[in-house]
A and B are shown apart, each in its own frame.
Chain A
């Protein structure tokens, strides 16, 4: 149950439903491989972008001879360079994403990490399908490299296999969420600026302020996928009633309490503050924020992010 089966990740229907979705970057940084995203570099692309005066050493094939004939001066025609968008997927593998939660009628719900991995797989498939490079960097209290950035639609099966092997760490320390440290380590990898997709419940013991602060320091474009459940904001009154001993899945800390209406109201207020903190950050940073209900189909929710089938990074 901890890991996700390969068949669940590489489901033909699941992959088919992603074909109409595209990631579109404004300008990808210079230094990438030739691909489909517009980059800041000028080069030998197809789409005209600008003129500039000729200087010695320039490629004569780029001289616009029509201008030279009319004006008697030599200008070069500049074309957009099409490069790839680096997409860095950071799925959350902390214990909170793998905790078994009870649903209606005490049925056991799937871990929210599974939805996160399916989301990661979907984004990887979209990016690989348009020749962008994709890397997978799962994290909990630290980040590690599961798949180095690579491109090519043919890599999809490899991605699925590797994602299906991802699961929670046995080490108790590694099961805690530390987004700040993970981002710091990720930043230290000095990767080419791209789209950083953080897929997490963002339940960091350090608090949402610390999380936002760490996210604000990253130089990548951000897409935040928040793994949520319906019971996160308003706990099920049947499940969460009476005298409870709540055990934190990550830290193991226990909290004895008696559920009352007032306590539930305080809880909802606290959760709302957490959510508004994340939303405010996304608004300030102008980054995407998708609240992915882990119990609903992933692609349908992901499609809401892609207006007209495109998500503008």
Chain B
């Protein structure tokens, strides 16, 4: 048995407190009701006889005490919300989809009501409720009463963002595995599409401590605002950014995907300019357009895309996909690099060619590339003797984020003339004093790493990693993949393709912090264009366990409060009967 509103310790403490308080009350001197009787001789004899037969006399009414304590104890027990067979020790998380998809029809109200029903059948002391909007938000913590539900959810609206439930599930899997804590069951509510392989993936990541299931009502109502004619009401279904394919450092490429015949217009907020012409001139892809080389400085900090010719009124109107916003990447500053006198000249050429790097005259506050350390430097890239490397990390192992960079450049192995391919080793140290140590011999004969085509990128990425400057990551909302690569927790579909957790703040392969990106987009299915094949959720979605509320009621345990209150009532009647029959004062 578990308690919904009180922990067992709190219940025990309350019961002890009650017992003590009642005991004190019973020890209090009572005011006797005065009755004049013809004689007290029989009562005196009875009292004398009773006293002679009584073992103890310190406690006046043990039966009344037992009755009252039992009744109050039962009331306290009922107040604690006891449940039978509610999965002892297991924690529960209810995840409500708060993405833009939930603006459809009455989905938000419907699923909020379902969430409340789900919370009512789960043990409150071990259940959290998280609203997965643009940023997952803990609405009700474990132990908080559902009486707070209405107050805390009245202002909750679906946020203009893709789903974040996948991200939250991965976080839960990581934290559950890391803490080695309680087994957790996650109930997902909402329209979010989750791949069937996700459950097994999460179980594997969490060491089989995390289970996931979707909860639905027995019957789902018709969606009143389902859009049927996309030609009449165009909408935006994806928006993303990527580093400019042209290589221009201060620019980016914008990915727009829409349904309908008209191309959307683009505007930068906060002093931005109207980029409608650029959008119209964008390069058409299979499902959308690339708008190339948008200057970051021109755009401002937000990018807004508006569907041209969108219908705002009438039965076919679906205004939620008429406009999308994207927080623009932080403007990338240039990184000062100081080159030591003893490094090969190829380094200077690579730094000079990189628009994000500038050659500094002083080592202070710069990324130093040298054979020896320089005081006051921001970070060091040291070309040392192989024997003096403190630590060796096999680049192909990908054990650090820098290793990921190394691998992405195809530099994991280097042929050394007549020798077999051998792994390149380096020492990478993140933190307050980032440092990268490599064998300086790699850049000379016979290895001649400076001759590799990827050498400039190695210099650029290494300098950025050391400086902790963000790397603009290819990003798209609504579950679209712009680039493949393991940049953090991702998913693998049935075909073995790896997807990053899009729509989330990804951890970049850099030593510094990185601010995540969000976008305001509806999914393609919401906009009436059907589920595209490359949506993550479209793959094998039927494999995820689905539960009805009735199933959950069985799993959530039987509520014993009513029975306990009934038992308390019976005890009260028994007490009354005992009192009336003179067996208790």
Contact = CB atoms under 8 A, between A and B. Distances in A.
A207 B46 contact: no
A34 interface: no
Interface stretch (A52-60, A65-73, A163-171, A251-259): A251-259
B259 to A, nearest CB: 82
Given A100-B36, A245-B34, A258-B60, A274 B42 contact: yes
A271 interface: yes
A100 B579 CA distance: 25
A201 B41 CA distance: 13
Contacts of B49: 266, 269-270
A109 to B, nearest CB: 11
Given A240-B35, A244-B33, A258 B61 contact: yes
B42 A243 contact: no
B533 interface: no
A171 to B, nearest CB: 18
Contacts of B61: 258
B60 A266 contact: no
A264 interface: yes
A269 to B, nearest CB: 7
Contact of B47 (A240, A241, A251, A257): A257
Contacts of A263: 46-47, 50
Interface string B45-80: 111011001000000110000000000000000000
Contact of A249 (B37, B46, B584): B37
Contact of A99 (B36, B43, B45, B47): B36
B581 interface: yes
Interface string B265-293: 00000000000000000000000000000
Interface residues of B, number: 30
Contacts of A99: 36-38
Contacts of B46: 263-264, 266-267, 269-270
Interface string A194-213: 00000001010101000000
Contact of A259 (B31, B36, B39, B585): B585
Interface in A95-143: 96-97, 99-102, 112
Interface in A202-248: 203, 205, 207, 237-248
B34 A250 contact: no
Contacts of B30: 243
A17 B491 CA distance: 111
Interface in B1-48: 30-47
A237 B40 contact: no
Interface string A69-104: 000000000000000000000000000110111100
A205 B44 CA distance: 11
A260 interface: yes
B38 A203 contact: yes
A256 B32 contact: yes
A245 B584 CA distance: 16
A238 to B, nearest CB: 8
A214 B294 CA distance: 128
A160 to B, nearest CB: 26
A96 B38 contact: yes
B580 interface: yes
A207 to B, nearest CB: 7
Contact of B45 (A201, A241, A270): A270
A261 interface: yes
A96 B50 contact: no
Nearest to B578: A261
Given A258-B585, A264-B582, A245 B33 contact: yes
A270 B47 CA distance: 10
**Which residue among B60, B580, B585 has the maximum number of chain A CB atoms within 10 Å of its CB?**
B585
Nearest to B61: A258
A237 B581 contact: yes
A262 interface: yes
B38 A201 contact: yes
Nearest to A271: B42
A247 B35 contact: yes
**Which residue among B33, B44, B45, B46 has the maximum number of chain A CB atoms within 10 Å of its CB?**
B46
A100 B37 CA distance: 8
B32 A260 contact: no
B583 interface: yes
A217 B45 CA distance: 27
Contacts of A101: 37-38
Interface string A33-70: 00000000000000000000000000000000000000
Contacts of A255: 40, 43-44, 47
Nearest to A255: B40
Interface string A267-296: 101110010000000000000000000000
Contacts of B584: 260-261
A259 B38 contact: no
B40 A248 contact: yes
Contacts of A112: 38
Interface in B538-585: 579-585
Contacts of A201: 38-39
A266 B585 contact: no
Contact of A243 (B32, B44, B581): B32
B342 to A, nearest CB: 102
Contacts of B580: 237-238
A205 B60 CA distance: 28
Contact of B39 (A237, A248, A266): A248
Given A269-B46, A270-B49, A245 B35 contact: yes
A262 B50 contact: yes
A263 to B, nearest CB: 5
A205 B582 contact: no
Contacts of B38: 96-97, 99, 101, 112, 201, 203, 249-250
A96 B583 contact: no
Nearest to B40: A248
9 contacts: A99-B38, A102-B35, A237-B581, A237-B582, A241-B582, A248-B39, A248-B40, A261-B581, A267-B43
Interface of B: 30-47, 49-50, 53, 60-61, 579-585
Given A245-B32, A259-B582, 17 more contacts: A101-B38, A201-B39, A203-B41, A237-B580, A246-B40, A246-B43, A248-B37, A249-B37, A255-B44, A255-B47, A260-B582, A260-B585, A261-B583, A262-B50, A263-B50, A264-B582, A266-B46
The 8 closest A-B pairs by CB, nearest first: A266-B46, A245-B32, A261-B583, A96-B38, A203-B39, A237-B582, A270-B45, A267-B46
